[in-house]
Amino acid sequence: MTDLMSKIVSLAKRRGFIYPSSEIYGGFGSGYDFGPLGVEMKNNIKRAWWDEMTKNHENIVGLDAAILMSPRVWQASGHLTAGFADELVECKSCHKRFKADEIQHPRLNSLTSGVCPECGGQLTEPRKFNLMMRTFVGPVEDEAAITYLRAETCQGIFMNYENVLNSMRLKIPFGIAQIGKAFRNEITTKNFIFRIREFEQMEMEWFCHPKDAKKYFEFWKKERLNWFINLGIKKENLRLREVPKEERPHYAVETVDIEYKFPFGWGELEAINNRGDFDLSNHSKYSGKDLRYFDEKTKERYFPYIIETSGGIERSFLAFLCNAYQEIKGGRTKTTKPTKEIEILLKLDKRIAPIKVAVLPLVRNKPKIVKKAKEVYQLLKPHFVCQYDELGSIGRRYRRQDEIGTIYCLTIDFESLKEDDLTIRDRDTMAQERVKIKDLIKVLKEKMEN
């Protein structure tokens, strides 16, 4: 892990973004818990995605499908076959396991050597390892009770395709959006929350006529790239990668990955897939239910093609953190005295930042100032996610708020007691302006919207 990644992991734990799971028991491999700031930021990412899909686009509706489904769903989808498996190699000495493609020669497509990268021991031959996570339904743990934790949220969408079509009186083209947990029994997890076994997906399935699939594939590729850019991700750290046939998911006719340049290298943020008619035709075949769409105008009956946008919330979260993280040597406030201090600034987009406003009394040993500050805090709480902070010098409190990406800091001082106003400090520009407390909610809402 690079030095920058180490700093981000440290910041995430220290400031309440992300904690290791089950830490008091030594941790649980690849499991992470989102702390008070992390859950706010995660919810903000979800909200930004949900609003983008359901408010800014026509004909997209939402769904929240069950995690547990009939195992026949996963038979029909191809997830119980070699189509959803990684090649596993194991060290005969230390018994650590690796994905074969991670230690393959990129051009020769073969293992560079039979040597373990950890201990130098001999590796086994690659063998297939299915990524589905098994569980049991009911009191008896036998073959008849086996089901699976879903490996992708989209299968719940396909199960409800006809229900949504009929109940919402939709016509093709239309989309169904869903946010939810997915589970994959990854051989190796790495790079903090980039590859983990339990994660959340933001998926949208766009149902269209086969002849329009290419057009919509290009459309959604651009839309999804722009979503990240509009939320502040630097263009130079994003790229589109056309996935070659041998690397595509088993269901994909065409795949383009949106990749971000993480500290450890380029990594997939989101996949845009042309799934063809694989899903609805297969589920029709296995279930006996005809899922073809009937066009009343043309009298044509066909299986819709599906264009999918599929992104992981945790990967987006990590990309937003990496993109926003800045270190300012010598501090943000320049003084005549040289200093070796390094200040951290988390320059998150307003929509993503976990804390919007911090309320800071200038000093905490003046009861009237503290009382006024707490009144302001209570005034703002119903409207914004706020923090109240009175510990340490005002400069240190500013720095603490910069470190977690707080957009505006409000300082209540001696003048506030006379004029019933306060100072608003902008995180990015450090500009300060005085605002009457009676106008505060209106002013802050205008600033947030702008």
Long-range (24+ apart) CB contacts under 8 A made by 437-442 are 437/376, 437/379, 440/376, 440/379, 440/380, 440/410, 441/379, 441/380, 441/383
Determine the pLDDT at residue 330: 77
Residue 122 confidence class, pLDDT cut points 50, 70, 90 = confident
Q: pLDDT tens across 222-258, in order?
A: 999 999 999 999 999 999 999 999 999 999 999 999 9
CA distance 9 to 20: 10
Determine the pLDDT at residue 2: 65
- Supply the mean pLDDT for the chain: 92
In the predicted structure, residue 126 carries a pLDDT above the cut 90: no
Q: Is the dihedral of CA 160, 166, 167, 168 positive or negative?
A: positive
Residue 403 identity (one-letter amino acid): E
**Mean per-residue pLDDT for 117-142?**
84
Residue 268 identity (one-letter amino acid): E
The torsion of the CA quartet 106, 108, 112, 113, rounded to 10 degrees, works out to 160
Q: pLDDT tens across 406-445, in order?
A: 999 999 999 999 999 999 999 999 999 999 999 999 999 9
Strand 174-183 and strand 60-62: pairing?
Answer: parallel
Higher pLDDT, 112 or 108: 112
170: exposed, middle or buried (Cβ count in 10 Å: 0-12, 13-18, 19+): middle
CA distance 45 to 57: 17
Q: pLDDT tens across 44-84, in order?
A: 999 999 999 999 999 999 999 999 999 999 999 999 875 66
Determine the pLDDT at residue 82: 59
Determine the pLDDT at residue 329: 87
Residue 292 confidence class, pLDDT cut points 50, 70, 90 = very high
Of the candidate ranges 220-224, 332-336, 357-361, 379-383, the one whose mean pLDDT is the lowest: 332-336
Q: pLDDT tens across 302-349, in order?
A: 999 999 999 999 999 999 999 999 999 877 765 546 566 889 999 999
CA distance 329 to 314: 29
CA distance 132 to 84: 8
In the predicted structure, residue 111 carries a pLDDT above the cut 80: no
Determine the pLDDT at residue 81: 79
Q: What is each CA distance from 353 to 194, 217, 402, in whole angstroms? A: 20, 31, 11
**Mean per-residue pLDDT for 194-210?**
97
Residue 266 confidence class, pLDDT cut points 50, 70, 90 = very high
Q: What is the pTM of this model?
A: 0.90
Determine the pLDDT at residue 331: 76
Residue 113 confidence class, pLDDT cut points 50, 70, 90 = low
Determine the pLDDT at residue 281: 97
Strands of the 85-90 sheet, one edge to the other = 97-99, 85-90, 127-130
CA distance 427 to 324: 13
Domains of the chain: 35-70+151-321 (3.30.930.10), 355-449 (3.40.50.800)
Can you read off the two tokens belonging to residue 326? 């800045």
Residue 108 confidence class, pLDDT cut points 50, 70, 90 = very low
CA distance 408 to 41: 16
Instruction: Report yes or no: 317 and 193 within 8 Å, Cβ to Cβ.
Output: yes
pLDDT above 70: percentage of residues in the chain: 94
